[in-house]
Amino acid sequence: MWRNPLQAEAERAELRFANASIRGIVTTVGDRMVEFAEEAPGMGLSEAEVARLQRAIGLNRRQIVSGNETTSDLCAHSARRLLQGCGLTPEQCQGLIFVTQTPDYAAPATAISLATRLGLPVTSMAFDVRLGCSGFIYGLAMAYSLVESGLNRVLLCVGDVASKFVDPTDHAIAPIMGDAGSAILIERKPSAASFQFYSDGSGERALIIPNSGVRKTPEDEGMPALMHMDGASVFNFTLQRVPSMITDILQYGAKEPDAIDYFVLHQPNKYILKNIQKRMKVDDAKMPSDTQSVYGNQNSASIPGTISGFLSDDFSSRRLTSLFAGFGIGLSWAAAIVETDHIYAPATFTGIKD
């Protein structure tokens, strides 16, 4: 039984901003396309099982790195394209936040070396955040907070090379995961935004990489340091928590559903998203759900990755009000309502092309 997030109604983690805005979003995915039907025999799946999973979950293909590229490599590629597209130099950024579960090292923080690789000055701040599915929302709120508090521009880099922390023969999780790194530029500019955050550590075993840190427990003895997922628990958690969170952020942001141009949610798989969509009664045109089927689950990069992959023209050419929602590992979930106005948002880059 999950904890009731309303136990402390007056203690909610909620934030509002008025002077920070997204200027651009760029996403880079792994260069190798993997077809589910081609990798399924190695996972012990029959043709009938493949067809069922393709229908039920939307499994089709995914993009992963083909070599030793890391999340920071994908994010560095995205960040360089982002700064170039926005007509800025690295010296004009004062901070970098790196959100990932796959850093270059356990220590030191990858954000520091990434900032140096990009050319940010030594007078800038840089730090890591270890979050997954909700990480984009958390990172975005941190960047907004820093800009609203005095910085002019902050780079938010999010993503994972998830193919490196799953067993390639595990048909429950391997064919879901993709590799991606997004870079988002947040700058000081009048714009309204609202955020809400939730966390419930009692569900940490639902998605976990055992034996991957310093804690050793009897139940993890002998288990490899690879992602383990309790699919039923994750599904139940999502349907119990996400629709009510969306309702709550709409109320907190004083927005009617019709005022939202796009509902851009974390993309675990199409089946989960279609269930959320049905409960929320959101039109297909307003809630994209194909990211996992084309690129794989991009973890903390899945929201910006969905914008890059399917909504780049609209975000580039229109003023939009969007609702973002991330949910999953932790357990952690968060939502935001943000305004964007003709941002730099090119289509997804496939592979690192420097």
Round the average pLDDT of the chain to a whole number and report it.
95
Mean pLDDT of all residues in 219-224: 89
Mean pLDDT of all residues in 188-210: 96
Mean pLDDT of all residues in 268-294: 95
Whose CA is closest to 239, among 265, 284, 272, 217?
Answer: 272
Q: What is the pLDDT of residue 125?
A: 98
Domain assignments of the chain as residue spans, ordered by start: 20-188, 193-348
Q: What is the pLDDT of residue 2?
A: 43
Three-class SS of the chain: CCCCCCCCHHHCEEEEECEEEEEEEEEEECCEEEEHHHHHHHHCCCHHHHHHHHHHCCCCEEEECCCCCCHHHHHHHHHHHHHHHCCCCHHHCCEEEEECCCCCCCCCCHHHHHHHHHCCCCCCEEEEECCCCCHHHHHHHHHHHHHHHCCCEEEEEEEEEHHHHCCCCCCCCHHHECEEEEEEEEEECCECEEEEEEECHHHHHHEECCCCCCCCCHHHCCCCCCCEECHHHHHHHHHHHHHHHHHHHHHHCCCCHHHCCEEEECCCCHHHHHHHHHHHCCCHHHCCCCHHHHCCECHHHHHHHHHHHHCHHHHHHCEEEEEEEEEECCCEEEEEEEEEECCECCCCEECCCC
Flag whether pLDDT at 203 surpasses 80.
Answer: yes
Mean pLDDT of all residues in 208-236: 92
CATH architecture of 20-188: 3-Layer(aba) Sandwich (3.40)
- 1 confidence band (pLDDT: 50, 70, 90): very low
Judge if 20-188 and 193-348 fold alike in CATH terms. yes
Instruction: Write the CB contacts of 166 (distance below 8 Å, at least 6 apart in sequence).
Output: 173, 174, 177, 226, 227
pLDDT one-digit tens code per residue, 45-85: 999 999 999 998 899 999 999 999 999 999 999 999 999 99
Mean pLDDT of all residues in 325-329: 97
Q: What is the pLDDT of residue 222?
A: 87
Mean pLDDT of all residues in 78-102: 98
The class of domain 193-348 in CATH terms is alpha beta
Flag whether pLDDT at 281 surpasses 70.
Answer: yes
Mean pLDDT of all residues in 192-199: 98
Flag whether pLDDT at 90 surpasses 90.
Answer: yes
Q: What is the pLDDT of residue 353?
A: 81
Q: What is the pLDDT of residue 202?
A: 96
286 CB-contact burial (10 Å; exposed 0-12 / middle 13-18 / buried 19+): middle
pLDDT one-digit tens code per residue, 300-320: 999 999 999 999 999 999 999
Flag whether pLDDT at 354 surpasses 90.
Answer: no
Q: Which of 11-15, 81-85, 217-221 has the highest mean pLDDT?
A: 81-85
